[in-house]
Amino acid sequence: MFEAVLLTVITAATPLLIAAVGELVVERSGVLNLGVEGMMIMGAVIGFAVANQTGSGTLGVFAAVGAGMAMSALFAVLVLFLVANQVATGLALTILGIGFSGMIGEAFIGVPGLDLPQLYIPVLSEIPFIGPVFFQQDALVYISFALVALVAYGLFRTRVGLVLRAVGDNHGSAHALGYSVVKIRFMAILFGGACAGLAGAYLSLAYTPQWVENMTAGRGWIALALVVFSSWLPLRVVVGAYLFGAVSVLNLHAQALEFDIPSQLLSSLPYLATIVVLVLISANRRLTLVNTPACLGKPFVPDR
């Protein structure tokens, strides 16, 4: 029973985790991209369409990543080169993504999707409990863990990560030291787009293998909350994503077990929990000041 619940939690948490890790890198570079939902839904529809047309789930995943990157490039051009307001541009990206995905997806409605094969890692998957939970998942679950490890290592143990954080903390000094703030941010934004696209592919190819309009249903926004929830630390994103997944799944279990609570209250728990955690984290000045990218959301123009 517990094992089964955990499996459900993993599938609910994985898309949040992938998208949030990508956005974390973007925000570490000092850019706030509110368009995660839009990039995610474009990833979902393009991933589904390509997988459907080519018969290859792998190609679908790559196409979804490409779609997410294309959307994020649009965002990057506006906020980096044209110095547009990041909040407004991110919102525009979401609106555009939801509209375009609906138009593109019309042809794929009611078409069953390809199911991504589960990867069973030999030997390890035989271990009781740990085996099924950690070693019998679809490929994207492993990729999500690999992504977190990669980002955690890359941000704090490599030179690239150091430069990226420097750009996010003080773009003026980073520029003075000779780093191209715009270039580094562009790359970070593209990475965030790739992750959001991948998260979308997870929804339309693994979670519920089909295309339906608005199928992201607000998950992009939750990913954004998770980044703050984690106070911009990759390993905490994992905790956050799994906590969030667990709350939404346990809500359904509580109902099936006949706890006498209004379902609307249960449904609002994840949102209330996020607010509480946000308050707890931000109330602790030491925690926030260390990790918050100081230039988050501020436009960079070299001549200032």
Partner 1 sequence: MRIELVKRKEHSQAMALLSPLIAVALTALAAAIIFLISGHNPLEALYKFFIEPLTQQWSLEATIDKATPLILIGCGLAVCYLSNNWNIGAEGQFVVGAIFGSVLPVLFPSFENVATLPLMLLFGAIGGALWALIPALLKTRFNTNEILTSLMLVYVAGLLLDYLVRGPWRDPGGYNFPESRIFSDAATLPEVFGGTMSLSAPITIVVAVVLAVVLAKTLKGFEIRVMGESPRAGSFAGFSAKGLTIFSFALAGALAGLAGTMEVSGALNQLLPSISPGYGFTAIIVAFLGRLNPIGIIIAGFVLALSYIGGEGVQSAMGVSNEIASVIQGLLLFFVLACDTLILYRIRITGQRASTGEASHV
Partner 2 sequence: MKSLLKATVAAVAFAAAGSAANAADVKACFVYVGPVGDFGWTYQHDQGRLAVEEHFGDKVETAFLESVAEGPDAERAIERFAREGCNVIFTTSFGYMNPTIKVAKKFPDVKFEHATGYKTADNVATYNSKFHQGRYIIGQIAAKQSKTGVAGYIASFPIPEVVSGINAFLLGAQSINPDFQVKVVWVNTWFDPGKEADAAKALIDQGADIITQHTDSTAPLQVAQERGVHGFGQASDMINFAKDAQYTAIIDDWAPYYIERVQEVLDGNWHSHSSWEGLAEGHVVMAPYTNLPPDVVEMAQATEAKIKGGWEPFTGPIIKQDGTVAAEEGVTLDDGAILGMNWYIQGVDDKLPE
* Nearest to partner 2 of 104, 287 (CB atom): 104
Q: Which does 88 bind (CB under 5 to 8 A by kind): partner 1, partner 2, none?
A: partner 1
| Shortest reach from residue 19's CB to partner 2, in Å | 14
Note the residues at the interface with partner 1 (CB under 8 A).
32, 34, 74, 78, 81-85, 87-89, 91-103, 106, 180, 182, 213, 218, 221, 224-225, 228, 262, 264-265, 267-268, 271-272, 274-275, 278-279, 282-283, 285, 288, 301-303
* Nearest to partner 2 of 54, 263 (CB atom): 263
| Shortest reach from residue 252's CB to partner 2, in Å | 4
Q: Which does 224 bind (CB under 5 to 8 A by kind): partner 1, partner 2, none?
A: partner 1
* Nearest to partner 1 of 49, 140 (CB atom): 49
Note the residues at the interface with partner 2 (CB under 8 A).
1, 4-5, 7-8, 11-12, 102, 105-106, 109-110, 112, 115, 203, 207-210, 212-213, 215, 217, 219, 248-249, 252-253, 255-258, 260, 262-264, 267
* Nearest to partner 1 of 159, 285 (CB atom): 285
| Shortest reach from residue 203's CB to partner 1, in Å | 18
Q: Tell which residue, 86, 74, 42, has the closest CA to residue 201.
A: 42
| Shortest reach from residue 261's CB to partner 2, in Å | 10
* DSSP letters for the chain: -HHHHHHHHHHHHHHHHHHHHHHHHHHHTT---TTHHHHHHHHHHHHHHHHHHHS-HHHHHHHHHHHHHHHHHHHHIIIIIS---HHHHHHHHHHHHHHHHHHHHGGGTTPPPPPPPEEEPTTGGGSTTHHHHHHEEEHHHHHHHHHHHHHHHHHHHSHHHHHHHHHHH-HHHHHHTT--HHHHHHHHHHHHHHHHHHHHHHIIIIIS-S--TTTTTTHHHHHHHHHHHTTT-HHHHHHHHHHHHHHHHHHHHHHHTT--S-HHHHHHHHHHHHHHHHHHHHH-HHHHHHHS-TTTT----TT-
CB 119, CB 139: distance < 8 Å: yes
| Shortest reach from residue 150's CB to partner 1, in Å | 25
Q: Which does 4 bind (CB under 5 to 8 A by kind): partner 1, partner 2, none?
A: partner 2
| Shortest reach from residue 77's CB to partner 1, in Å | 8
